Every structure is written in C-alpha cells, then in structure tokens.
Amino acid sequence: MKSLFEPASQKPLSSLLFPDRPEEFLGQPHLMGERGILRRLIAVRSFRSMVIHGPPGCGKSAFVHLLQKVLPFHFEVVRAGESSGGELKKAIDRGVSYRQSGQDCLLVIEEIDRFTRTQQDVLVPALERGDLLLLGLSFDNPLRALLPPLASRLLLFSFQPLSPEDLLTLLERGRQFLEKRDRSPVSISPEAASVLVRRSGGDGRKLLLLFEALVISRKDHGERREVQIGLPEVHGMEAGSGGIFYDREQHYDLISAFIKSIRNHDPDSAIHYLARMIESGEDPVFISRRLVILASEDVGLANPHALTVAVSCLEAVRSIGMPEGRIVLAETSLYLALSPKSNSAYRAIDRAIREVREGFLPPVPFFFRNVSPSSVIQSGAFPDKRDPYLYPPEMPNGVSPQSGLPEGHTVYSPPERLVGEESEMVKRLERWRRQKGNPEEDEK
C-alpha cells in the first residue's frame, strides 16, 4: 500500500505534466513554435542569457523543466525573495567550478526583478566573463527594476496567457494522467471543460488545480468507479467558494466597472463592485492606486482635494491592511463618486505630449533660460540684457507679460461645462491672461 505522504503524490498536477520534449510544450507559439527563436536555441544547444516575463501559469516553470531535460548544463536555481547575497555568490562559484570542468552552468533566478542593486552588481562580472548563463523569470516586465549594465546583457522575451485551445489540450492531458495514475476512468463534459477554461483566465496551473480538486471531491475512495465532471459539479464548486472564481478577465472587468461607476457619479454601483473585488481577494493596494489615477484623470481640477484624499487612502491601506482597509476604500470611493468631475488635466498633458511628438519644439525664450555660467557655455547662447526676465511678484498684478510659448498657443483647454473649483480657477486664468496684455490692469 502506498503511503499517504509519498512525496510524488503531493506534487501539483501542473508539475507532473511538465514537458520533456519541445514538441510537448504548450503555448508561446511565437517563441516555441517550429520557427520560434527559443525552440531553435534549444535545438542547437546554444542557449543565451535572457529574462522571460509573463503571468502565472503561462509556462515559465515548464520551460525551465524542459531545459533541464534537453540541455547538458548544470542548473542552479535561486529565488530572489529568499536568497541572500552570500547564497548568490555561492551559486555563482559553483557555476564557475562546473565551467572550469567543461560543463556550462545555467543560473535560474525566479522573480529577478526583486533582486537588490547589490545582488545585480554581483551578476554583471560573472556574465561578462562568461562564467555562467542566466535565465531570469518575472511576472512583470523587469527592465525598469534591472540595472542598465545587467539589462544590456540579457535578451528579453514575453510569455502570454495560454489560449483556450492550449488549455483544453492541457486539461485533456491532466484527465489522462489522473485516469492512468489512479486506475479509474475520469470524464468531463465539454460544457464543464469550457467553464473551467474560461474561469482559469489563461492560467494553466489554475486550470489543473481546479480540475484535480473536482476529481478528488468526486471520488469514492476504495472504489474505482468512473469520475464524471459536469456542469453541476463545476457550479457546485463555485457555490462552495462564495460563487466567485476570480480569473484574469473578471479582474479587469470588475475594476473597469468600479472606475466607470465612480466616473458616472454612481456611488451604489461603485460600492457594489468594490465589495466584489474585496471578496474575490483583489489586492487592496491595486484598488487604491486606481483611485489615485481616477482622482487626477476624472475628478481633476473640479475638486483638487480628491488627489490628496486618494493618496491618503493608498497610504492608509498600505499601513493598516485588511480588513480595516475596506472602510478607507469605501470612504474614498464614495468621496470620488460624489465629487464633480473634470478631465482637463488629462486632456492637457496628452495634447502637449502629442504636439511634442509631432515636432512642436519652440526654443526656450532667453528670459526663461537658466543663466548659470555652465549652461551659457554649453549652449553658446547668451541672454539678451535688453529683454531680461520679469519677476512676477514684482509686477503690479503679480503677472508678467512674458510667455514660454509662441503668442496665442494654448495647451490647457477648460471644459465647456465648468463645475466645482475649476470654474473659479478659469475666472482667475482669464483675468491673468488679460493682465499679461495689460500689466497695469487693476485686480478685479
């Protein structure tokens, strides 16, 4: 009789189905198809240092397993969040030893974007000397987190979520594996399979986890009767989990509905979708960040205090966490939903960026330039003493007639329907523009 604690039986189904040959690899046809660059590198046994980023369950771990099967390398695996600088140096030293003995070493670093600058500094000379090859893994594009000297030595590839077709293939492989391992028939209806694929949101690991849990829950232990999975079983699992399967699609659908409800002055819908995200286990910091964006993009100058409230919400949620953070999120959501709205700041910066990209780059007027000696020497231009900078606080109305852009060129365009504090701001702007043309005009 097999022990209940036999290690192999505790491995997740996703690990048991890792590919041993390139043709068994699922997903990433742009990289692992017959003409894909990674497939070709594997075929000629000529690996290069690289970083692969992609969402959970897209095949990064499966790719590492495949490399271990087909490449004659020594593998060192390091997890950034759990490894110190000393452990990293030991792994590199072991790689050097294998290299000196004639065997290449591939250093696999999980969550490479979490490496500190000091840890990254250790990697650069090892790569420069050719002591080892590096394979970095990350959920998000790590380039911003990597030091330029390290990033310039790495290829960058993006893995995408698995397609529904790949997920169905993976599900069938899982069904066959469980059937063979447990020596009992397993079947799943096309409708149930479709629901599981949709709920997994492109995450193969999640798909197999859900499927294996369903199979185990339907087994009559000690008997080898067929396990049948249909829609009732899938819906039963949903009901048992509070009716919420939070897949990638729902993640974006709910946050979209939440933001659009606030934008539309709908506090009831906003709180409803907030509750659904909280109950689904959404990261409260992610929600808070979206509120900060909304405060600038949609509330904007109509209520400038909204940004302060949203930033305070972000800091409070980070500080106190959940479940108390739900109250802060609710208060901020209601505040933003009940605030007047203006997207003039959003429109202004986008217009300015578009103009710059299209070539609108007028020279900075001499009276606005930095007149330090070094800047004068570098530019070769000297400010015109006949046209000095006019200090606004010393002008009669605190406004100088000088402008940083050609006359008549504007970027900020007030909305036709002025609401909230922006209406008073625009009145001040109109007065200041008049006074620029007539500095002696009285304040009104």
Q: 190 and 174, same structural domain?
A: yes
Query: Are 20 and 150 part of one and the same domain?
Result: yes
- pLDDT of residue 23 exceeding 90: yes
pLDDT category at 374 given cuts 50, 70, 90 is low
- Does 326 share its domain with 373? no
User: What is the span of the domain harbouring residue 433?
Assistant: 344-437
Does residue 386 fall inside a structural domain?
yes
Task: Say if residues 149 and 126 touch (Cβ distance below 8 Å).
Answer: no
141-149 mean pLDDT: 86
Supply the DSSP string of 314-337, one letter for each residue: HHHHHHH-TTTHHHHHHHHHHHHH
- Specify the amino acid at residue 381: A
CA atoms within 13 A on the CB side of 148: 0
Same domain as 331, residue 293: yes
- Band (426; pLDDT cuts 50, 70, 90): confident
Q: What is the CATH number of the domain that holds 405?
A: 1.10.3710.10
* Residues 213 and 267 both lie in one domain: no
Three-state DSSP at 153 gives coil
Residue 170 has pLDDT above 70, yes or no: yes
- Report pLDDT for 8: 46
**Does 323 sit behind a cis peptide bond, omega within 30 degrees of 0 on the bond before it?**
yes
- Residue 377 placed within a domain: yes
Q: Are residues 130 and 84 in the same domain?
A: yes
Position 7 in a domain = no
Same domain for 146 and 31: yes
Q: What's the total number of domains in the chain? A: 4
* CATH number of the structural domain spanning residue 170: 1.10.8.60
The yes-or-no verdict on residue 375 having pLDDT over 60 is no
Look at residue 437 and tell me whether its pLDDT is greater than 70: no
The pLDDT-based confidence of 171 (bands split at 50, 70, 90) is very high
Does residue 444 sit within a domain?
A: no
Spell out the residues 6+ positions from residue 44 whose beta carbon is closer than 8 angstroms to its own. none
Domain boundary residue, one of 240, 257, 292: 240
- Give the whole-angstrom CA distance, residue 192 versus residue 197: 9
106 & 145 share domain: yes
CA distance 81 to 111: 7
Contact 87, 114 (CB under 8 A): no
**In CATH, what number is assigned to the domain containing residue 153?**
3.40.50.300
Best CA proximity match to 419, nearest among 297, 265, 302: 302
Residue 2: inside a domain: no
132 lies in the same domain as 34? yes
| Residue 8 included in any domain | no
Q: Tens digit of pLDDT for each residue in 239-292? A: 555 444 555 556 778 899 999 999 999 999 999 999 989 987 888 999 999 999
Please compute the mean of the pLDDT values over residues 179-188 and round it to a whole number.
Answer: 90
Q: Quick one: average pLDDT of 6-29?
A: 86
In a shared domain, residues 126 and 29: yes
User: Which residues are within 8 A (CB) of 34 and not within 5 positions of it... i.e. 6 or more apart?
Assistant: none
Instruction: Give the per-residue pLDDT at 412.
Output: 87
Q: What are 287-311's pLDDT values in tens digits?
A: 999 999 999 999 999 999 999 999 9
In this structure, the answer to whether residues 176 and 128 fall within a common structural domain is: no
Q: Are 267 and 378 contained in the same domain?
A: no
